[in-house]
Amino acid sequence: MRMTGAVALITALLIGWADAQSFDDAKVKELYAAAKQEGQVIIWGTQRREVEWIPGAVTKVFPGIDVQFLGDNDIAVKAIAEARAGRHQVDVYQNSLTGTLPVVQRDLLTPVDWSAFQIDPRNVAFDGRMAYTSNIVYTVAYNNKLVNAADAPGNWIDILDERYRGKGTSSTFLLPRLIGGLGLVWGEDKALQFARDIVAKMNLLLTRAPRESLLQSGERLYAFGEVDSLIRAVAAEGLPVSQVVPEPVVVGQFGVTVMKNAPHPNAARLLAGFLASTEGKAARLKATSQADYGPTSENELAKKLHAGKLQVAWDRPDNMAQREALFGRAAAILTGQAR
């Protein structure tokens, strides 16, 4: 599945913006009035770039509310520690399904009436405690000045081919998670053997550092297991990179939740509802290149994913434990701690 131009991709992904919702529901108006009385709302996300755009987007639709944010990889630990200490400083918690599970397990979230924001029940998880906002897909990025699009792999197993040996790089954080997702389709044995073969055959440069500079310089031609939104963003900035989405397509899921003891409960529900709405998803795409590939999305990649013609490993609440266990074992193999 080719993704060969940032402009074309973003154009396709923006389909449906014209239908952005207007928040005319009486319940939303009532919630907004109460939120303005509270005057503030605080959201935590996993990175600064994930949340820094939110105050500006919210102000355009719901002026009069001060949106504060924190971007930190350890927000699950922080949220749990704060709750244990009786300090309730966060209203809205934004994370992946995996990153949300620990706070769900500790009963730190409250159900929300998402219907006022016209959010389809298929986009709601954890018994109404979470609403989906965006997705990632894992891709192979490549230097499009040095690599022809036709030479990029169409299936993840293809990256073991000799022609990619010594030409690839990958993230120590992302690659094990990709393999965990592949295991949902391939099964555990094939996925772990894939990890072993990567170590044995590929001469892959595994790194914690960003891979874009390696691609740009030509030191490495391919980056295996990248996140689609990041590559779209750097391509839009002018880097000579394109990407493909090999099968099985591994899809990650992100969403928003409201803390049970939110200090600003009305503003929290308003913000969470906005972020999960059509308009909120469009604002996120514009600001971060993160797309919605859910069942109600109108963009072209989403339609392909839901057409039933591709192998897809979906991130779901009911497969998290299986995927996480597998990713841990894959990480140990990739880092030389296990075979």
Pairing relation of β-strands 40-45 and 66-71? parallel
Per the CB < 8 A criterion, the answer to whether 52 and 71 are in contact is yes
- Mean local confidence (pLDDT), 228-241: 96
Measured at the CA of 104, the angle between CA 257 and CA 255, to 5 degrees, comes to 30
- Mean local confidence (pLDDT), 271-283: 97
The per-residue pLDDT of the chain, averaged, comes to: 92
Which tens digit of pLDDT belongs to each residue from 15-59? Answer: 333 344 568 889 999 999 999 999 999 999 999 999 999 999 999
**Alpha helix locations (H) across 86-219?**
97-105, 174-186, 188-201, 212-217
Which tens digit of pLDDT belongs to each residue from 135-176? Answer: 999 999 999 999 999 999 999 999 999 999 999 999 999 999
Which region among 6-10, 206-210, 211-215, 332-336 has the lowest average model confidence (pLDDT)? 6-10
Kindly tell me if the per-residue pLDDT of 11 is higher than 50. Answer: no
Residue in 27, 92, 88, 38 with CA at minimum distance from that of residue 65 = 38
Pairing relation of β-strands 312-314 and 205-207? unpaired
Q: Backbone dihedral region of 303: left (phi > 0), alpha (psi from -120 to 50 degrees) or beta?
A: alpha
**Both tokens assigned to 334:** 């990739």
Distance CA 163, CA 81 (A): 48
pTM for the predicted model, two decimal places: 0.89
- Mean local confidence (pLDDT), 192-207: 97
Confidence of residue 321 (pLDDT cuts 50, 70, 90): confident
Q: Which domains does the chain have, with CATH numbers?
A: 18-134+253-294 (3.40.190.10), 136-251+304-334 (3.40.190.10)
Preceding amide of 248 cis, omega within 30: yes
